Amino acid sequence: MIKKVSLFAVTLALATSCVSKKVYNELEERYANLRKENRKLQDEGKDCEKAKNKLETDYASLQSELAKTRTERDKLSNDLKSATNNLAALQSSYDALSKNSDDALAANMNKNRDLLAQLEAKEKALAAEQSRLDKLRNDLDDSSRRLAELENMMANKDAAMKKLKETLSKALNSFEGKGLTVQMKNGKVYVSMENKLLFSSGSWAVGAEGKRAVVEVGKVLGDNPDISVLIEGHTDDVAYAGSGAIADNWDLSTKRATAIVNILGENKKVNKSNLTAAGRSEYAPIMPNTTAEGKAKNRRIEIILTPKLDEISKMLNEL
| pLDDT tens column, 246-282 | 889 999 999 999 999 999 999 999 999 999 999 999 9
Q: Are 278 and 230 in contact (CB under 8 A)?
A: yes
The pLDDT value recorded for residue 315 is: 47
| pLDDT tens column, 163-178 | 999 999 999 999 988 9
Computed over every residue of the chain, the mean pLDDT equals 85
The pLDDT value recorded for residue 164 is: 92
Q: What total of structural domains would you count in the chain? A: 1
Spatial separation of the C-alpha atoms in residues 138 and 234, rounded to whole Å = 51
Amino acid at 263: I
Q: At what angle do helices 21-171 and 310-318 cross, to 10 degrees?
A: 140
| pLDDT tens column, 232-253 | 999 999 998 777 788 899 999 9
Spatial separation of the C-alpha atoms in residues 195 and 168, rounded to whole Å = 19
The pLDDT value recorded for residue 76 is: 73
The pLDDT value recorded for residue 293 is: 94
* In a domain? residue 8: no
* In a domain? residue 192: yes
Whole-number percent of the chain with pLDDT over 90: 42
* In a domain? residue 220: yes
Band of residue 146 on the pLDDT scale cut at 50, 70, 90: confident
Domain extent for 176: 172-318
- Give the bridge partners for 232, in sequence order: 278, 302
* In a domain? residue 145: no
| pLDDT tens column, 186-217 | 999 999 999 999 999 889 999 999 999 999 99
* In a domain? residue 93: no
* In a domain? residue 26: no
CATH number of the domain that 244 lies in? 3.30.1330.60
* In a domain? residue 167: no
Q: Are 167 and 278 in contact (CB under 8 A)?
A: no
The pLDDT value recorded for residue 15 is: 53
The pLDDT value recorded for residue 106 is: 80
| pLDDT tens column, 19-59 | 688 888 888 888 999 988 888 888 888 888 888 888 888 88
Q: How confident is the model over 111-119, as a mean pLDDT?
A: 88
SS3 sequence of 69-136: HHHHHHHHHHHHHHHHHHHHHHHHHHHHHHHHHHHHHHHHHHHHHHHHHHHHHHHHHHHHHHHHHHHH
